[in-house]
Amino acid sequence: MALYLGIDIGGTNTELGIVDEEGQIVSSQTLSTKQHGGSFADYITALSLQINQMVADPALSGKVVGIGIGAPNANYFSGCIEEAVNLPWAGSSPIVAELSAQTGLPVVLDNDANASALGEHSYGAARGLDHFVEITLGTGVGSGIYADGRLIRGYQGKAGELGHIAVGEPHQRCGCGRYGCLEASVAAPAVARRAVSLKKLCLEQGMWSELCDIPDEQLTSKVVAEVALATGDSIARQVFDETGEILGRALAQFACFSAPQAFVLFGGVAQCGDLLLRPVRTAFDQALLHIYRGSIEIRLSALPKGQAAVLGAASLARERDL
């Protein structure tokens, strides 16, 4: 049985995991992304050493057939990480060429959102689906579009920027400089902003909410979800009701593009589960074009928390083999 090595490159750490066909991580390691004085060459040397040690494990010997790498600003076609502001290397870093030379294994690189989508298809909530869209709700909104049995990569690998389609609140400014992007309405900072705004309204109107006891700067998406789930606080719930309604309407629009069988929600904001999922589904059902009714599910990610990135990366290598 073939094994794949998944590598998730983050700003602080690089996580490595050898993954089997069932999505079990049979061996894992962590390497610092930063600890090489910003030298890409030194990082690659350390990473290759780590990989070669893992692959040489007698128990796995010869079974690891490929490496997949998920990273921010990764270019699938060039095999380079390009101008990634959160990584220590400037310019274009040819990681596929370097790693395949130093390990002798085939290497595939792609961005985190595409890796997540493939991971969901290989091991998670999208197993067996030929058509689905993965939406990552984190600091931003990422997406991976899988249609007709393949990931859509688009010209220069730039497909799947659904977070920047103007189906959010029209007057909300996005980090990209444009207005109305979905990202500006449903990513984690937008959830926090909504909580602060509803808390302010409560205070002005002399209403009570658990959120009133929490300083604005601590009202993160995660904290608001914890309050809603622990206490049932109606204002905390309303934060997710409003977020979910915008997201549900947006997903109904996106359905018209690739006619998916499912949307899979992933990332920090989706970890509150039903709190978000219920209003998403209600708004989605109301806004969906009639020809799609009854044919599209909305699911939560089914990848084990903390392993999703490595599983996604491994599935990049797996996809190449299929």
Q: How far apart are CA 259 and CA 255, in angstroms?
A: 5
Written as one letter, the residue type at 168 is G
Nearer to its own copies, 130 or 321 (CB): 130
Give the binding range for its own copies (CB under 8 A) out of 7-15, 84-92, 98-106, 252-260.
252-260
Give the binding range for its own copies (CB under 8 A) out of 20-28, 45-53, 141-149, 273-281.
141-149
Nearer to its own copies, 152 or 196 (CB): 152
Are the beta carbons of 136 and 142 closer than 8 angstroms?
yes
DSSP string covering 216-248: GGG--HHHHHHHHHHH--HHHHHHHHHHHHHHH
Are the beta carbons of 40 and 89 closer than 8 angstroms?
yes
Among 54, 117, 118, 145, binds its own copies (CB under 8 A): 145
- The least CB distance from residue 90 to its own copies, in Å, is 19
- What token pair was written down for 92? 């274009």
- The site for its own copies, by CB under 8 A, has a size of 40
Asked if 167 is part of the footprint of its own copies (rule: CB under 8 A), the reply reads yes
- The least CB distance from residue 285 to its own copies, in Å, is 13
Among 37, 291, 305, 322, binds its own copies (CB under 8 A): 291
Neighbours of 180 (CB within 10 A): 17
- Helix, strand, coil percent values for the chain (each to nearest 5): 45, 20, 35
Nearer to its own copies, 46 or 259 (CB): 259
- What token pair was written down for 183? 């990202």
- The least CB distance from residue 266 to its own copies, in Å, is 18
Asked if 217 is part of the footprint of its own copies (rule: CB under 8 A), the reply reads no
String of contacts with its own copies for each residue 258-287, x by CB under 8 A: xxxx-------------------------x
Are the beta carbons of 251 and 260 closer than 8 angstroms?
no
- The least CB distance from residue 131 to its own copies, in Å, is 4
- The least CB distance from residue 107 to its own copies, in Å, is 20
The closest alpha carbon to 7, from 316, 320, 319, belongs to 316
Among 34, 257, 273, 304, binds its own copies (CB under 8 A): 257
- What token pair was written down for 209? 């909410």
- Beta-bridged to residue 92, according to DSSP, are 82
Q: Given strand 107-111, what is the order of strands in its sheet? A: 25-32, 13-19, 3-9, 64-71, 107-111
Asked if 157 is part of the footprint of its own copies (rule: CB under 8 A), the reply reads yes
Among 25, 97, 165, 229, binds its own copies (CB under 8 A): 165
Among 63, 82, 106, 131, binds its own copies (CB under 8 A): 131
The closest alpha carbon to 299, from 146, 149, 125, belongs to 125
Asked if 294 is part of the footprint of its own copies (rule: CB under 8 A), the reply reads no
Binding stretches for its own copies (CB under 8 A) = 130-131, 145, 147-148, 150, 152-162, 164-167, 176-178, 249, 253-254, 256-261, 287, 289-292, 295-296
